[in-house]
Chain A
Amino acid sequence: MDLDIDPESAVFRDEVRAWLADNVPRQGLPSMDTAEGFAAHREWEARLAEERLSVVTWPVEYTGREASLLQWLLFEEEYYAAGAPGRVGQNGIFMLAPTLFAHGSTEQRDRILPAMARGEQVWAQAWSEPEAGSDIAALRSSAVRTEGGWLVSGQKTWSSRAAFADRAFGLFRSDPDSERHRGLTYLMIDLRADGVTVRPIPQLDGEPGFAELFFDEVFVPDEDVIGTPGDGWRVAMTTANNERGLSLRSPGRFLASADRLVRLWEACGEPAATASRVADAWIDTRAYQLYTYGTATRLADGEQLGPESSVNKLAWSSVDVALHETALDVLGADGELASPWVEGYLFSLAGPIYGGTDQIQRNTIAERVLGLPREERR
C-alpha cells in the first residue's frame, strides 16, 4: 500500500497547476446562473478544451487525454485549489457522457461529445417531475411513437442549468401501459425545439439555478434515443451511479474549501471555540480524499461501484454542510453578510437533496450494503 504519485501523473499534475496559475480568471466569473455568467462560463469551458483540460479522462479524439482516474482526481485537486470557475458543462460531462460511452452509438458520441467538451452545447438533466422526486420511477412525462422519432409531452422540474442550457437528457414513459421502471426511454432533447417551454426557477440565493421544463408534443428524432426504447431505466442507472459515485463531487472541491476554512480561521485570530470544528472539517475532507484514492484503485483494478457509492455521497454532502456552517460561525457577526462563504453555505444545503436525498442514501446503505430487510414502500 502506498500513496505515491507515479512520475507521469506528477508531470501531468504540474502542467495543470502551472496552466491554472496563469489562466484562472483572478476576479472569478459572474454566477453561472445569470445570462452573463453562463456565457462567461461557457467561454471558460472552451478555454479548457483548447488545452485538452476540459475532459481529461476522455479519448484523445474527443479532446481528452485518456488520463487515468487518479490523474483526474489530481486534476480536480489542482482545479479547485486554484479557485477555478465552476463547471457549467458538468451535467453533460459527468452524467451524460458516461452514459454515451456505455450505451450510445459511435454516431452519437461523434456528434455530441466534442461540442459538449468545448461548452458549445451545455446539457441539463431532466429526471425529476413534480410528483416524481425521490421516486423517479413514478415519472409520467411521455414519449409517443411517430414517424422517425418520438413526440414528447409532460413536465420536468428542478433541472439545473436549464434556464440557459441548450439541451436536456432524461427518461420518458414510452409505453403508456407500463409501470415503474419498465417502458421508459432515455432521450436527448433540444431545449430550443418547438413545443418546449422553459420556466427558470430562482433558488434560495435568488438566481435561477434550475428550471421547469414543459414539453408539448416536442419531436425527438430516433438518433437522439440512447440505447433501446423501453430500456431507459437500465441505461440511466449508469448515470445515477456516476452521480452518486465519484464524478459528481470529487474530493478536490472539499479539500480546497477545507484549506480556505483553515486560512479563514487563522485570519480571524484562531478562535479557540471553533478550533475543533475547523479541524474536523479538514480531517473529514482528508478522509474523503483517501477513501476516494481507494475507490480509484479498485476501479483501476476492474471492480465496479455498487451501492457503497451511497456512503460516498452521504460523506461529502455532510462534510460540505458542516464546513460551511463552521465558516459562518468563525465569521461571527460578519457571517450573514453576502460572501462566497454564504453562497457556498446555501449551495451546500442542497447537497443532501439532489442526486438522491440523504434519507434515500441511508435506505440504500441499510438495505443494500448491510442487507437489512426492505422498508415497506412501492
Chain B
Amino acid sequence: MRFALSPEQRDFAAALDELLAGADTPGVAREWAERRFEPGRKLWRELADLGVWGLLVPEEHGGADAEPADAVVALEACGYHAVPGPVVETTVVAPRLLGGDELARVAAGESMVTAAIPPEVPRALDADAADVVLRLDGTAVQRISSDMDSGGRMPSIDATRGLFPAAEHGEVLGAARPHAFALGVLGVSAQLLGAARRMLAMATEYASQRRQYGRAIGQYQAVKHLLADVTVSLTMARPLVDGAAVTLASGAAEPVVMRDISAAKVAATRAALLAARTSLQVHGAIGYTAEHDLGLWLTKVRALAGAWGTADAHRTRVLTAVRGEHAD
C-alpha cells in the first residue's frame, strides 16, 4: 500500500499552482460572471498545455489516459484558484460521454464541454460558454443545441455559474461509458476540497495580520479554535476523496464505487461549508463585501453543496450501499 500522491502527481499539482497563482483567477472569475468569457478561455487554453482536459482521455485521442486521482489533483487546483467554467464536466464527465474525435478536441483544449445528468444535475452549467452541451438520461447521451445565448441563463448564488435548462430532445450520440455521474461527484468533491483549503488559507493569513484590542486576532483562542476545526474537517475529507478515486480506478462494483464517492462528497461538502462560514467569520465585515475575493469561494461552495447530489442524498446512498454489503 502507498496511499499518497506520487512524485509526478505532486509535480503536476505544483505546476498547476504556479500557472494559476499567476493568472489572476479571481479577476478571470469576475469577468466570467459578467459573461465575458475570453480571459477564461485563455486560461483554459493554458490549462490544456498542462494536459488538464485530456487527463482521462485515452492516449489514442491525444489524452493522458491517467487515473481519476490525477483528475482529483487538477480539480482541487481549480477549486483552490476558483477557475470558472464547466471544469468538472470537461475533465471527468466528457470522457465518459463523447466519442474519439470530440475527445481529441477536448484534450487539445479546443472544446469546452458541459452536461446535464437529470435528476441530480438538472441543468447544464455555463452552456452559454461551452462548445458542446450534453444530456445524459440513463445511458443515453444526447447532444443538445449549444447556441444558447446568455438570455436563458438562470443565475446562481455563485455569480460565475450560469445554469441552463437542458432540453429533452437532442441529437442522440450513443451510450455513455460507466461512472459518468460518479466521476462528476468525485470531481466536484475535489473542487470543494480546493475551495475549502483556499478559504482556510485566506482566513489564517488574515488572522495573523488583523489586530483588534491590541493584538492579532489569531492570538485569541476563539479564532484559533475555529481555524483548527476547519483543519480537522478538511484533513479528514481529503482521504475520502483520494480513496474514492482509488476505488473508482480499481474497477470495484457499482455499489462500492457509489459508497465511496458519496462519502467523499459528504465530507468535502461539510469541510467546505465549515471553511466558508469560518473564513467569513474570521474576516468579519470585510469578507461580506463583493469587493473581497472570499465571496467567490464562499458562494461557489454553497452552489456546489447542492450540485451533483446534496450531502443528504449522498448519505442515503452510503447507507444503502453499506446495508447491501451486510445483506450479502
Contacts and interface: CB of A to CB of B under 8 A. Distances in A.
A146 B273 CA distance: 52
B250 interface: no
B295 to A, nearest CB: 5
B155 A377 contact: no
B105 interface: no
A159 B291 CA distance: 16
Given A206-B159, A358-B281, A332 B310 contact: yes
Contacts, number: 121
Contacts of A334: 122, 306
B311 A133 contact: no
A352 B278 CA distance: 10
A203 B288 contact: yes
A329 B215 contact: no
A204 B305 contact: no
Interface string A43-86: 00000000000000000000000000000000000000000000
Given A274-B312, A333-B120, A359-B222, A206 B156 contact: no
B307 interface: yes
Interface string B306-328: 11001111011000000000000
B15 interface: no
Given A133-B212, A377-B215, A338 B154 contact: yes
Interface stretch (A4-12, A93-101, A161-169, A341-349): A341-349
Contacts of A201: 289-291
Contact of A329 (B289, B290, B291, B311): B311
B212 A138 contact: yes
Nearest to A133: B284
B212 A134 contact: yes
Interface in A330-378: 331-338, 342, 345-346, 349-350, 352-354, 357-359, 362-363, 375, 377-378
Contacts of A128: 285
Contacts of B310: 273, 329, 332-333, 335
Nearest to A326: B312
A345 B157 CA distance: 10
B3 interface: no
B231 interface: no
B157 A336 contact: yes
A214 interface: no
Nearest to B123: A333
Interface residues of A, number: 46
A96 to B, nearest CB: 20
A135 B213 contact: yes
A204 B163 contact: no
Interface in B117-132: 119-123
A124 to B, nearest CB: 14
Contact of A354 (B211, B285, B303, B316): B285
Nearest to B303: A336
B192 to A, nearest CB: 13
B223 interface: yes
Q: Taking each of B155, B273, B310, B313, which has the highest tally of chain A beta carbons within 10 Å of its own beta carbon?
A: B310
B42 interface: no
B157 A332 contact: no
Contacts of B214: 135, 377-378
B273 to A, nearest CB: 7
Interface in A183-239: 201-206, 210
14 contacts: A128-B285, A134-B212, A202-B291, A203-B288, A206-B290, A273-B312, A329-B311, A331-B306, A334-B306, A336-B306, A345-B157, A350-B288, A357-B284, A359-B281
Interface of B: 119-123, 154-159, 161, 163, 211-215, 220-223, 273, 277, 280-281, 284-285, 288-291, 295, 298-299, 302-303, 305-307, 310-313, 315-316
**10 interchain residue pairs of minimum CB distance:** A378-B214, A273-B312, A377-B213, A336-B303, A202-B290, A335-B306, A359-B222, A135-B212, A158-B285, A378-B213
Interface of A: 128, 131, 133-135, 138, 157-158, 201-206, 210, 271, 273-274, 321, 325, 328-329, 331-338, 342, 345-346, 349-350, 352-354, 357-359, 362-363, 375, 377-378
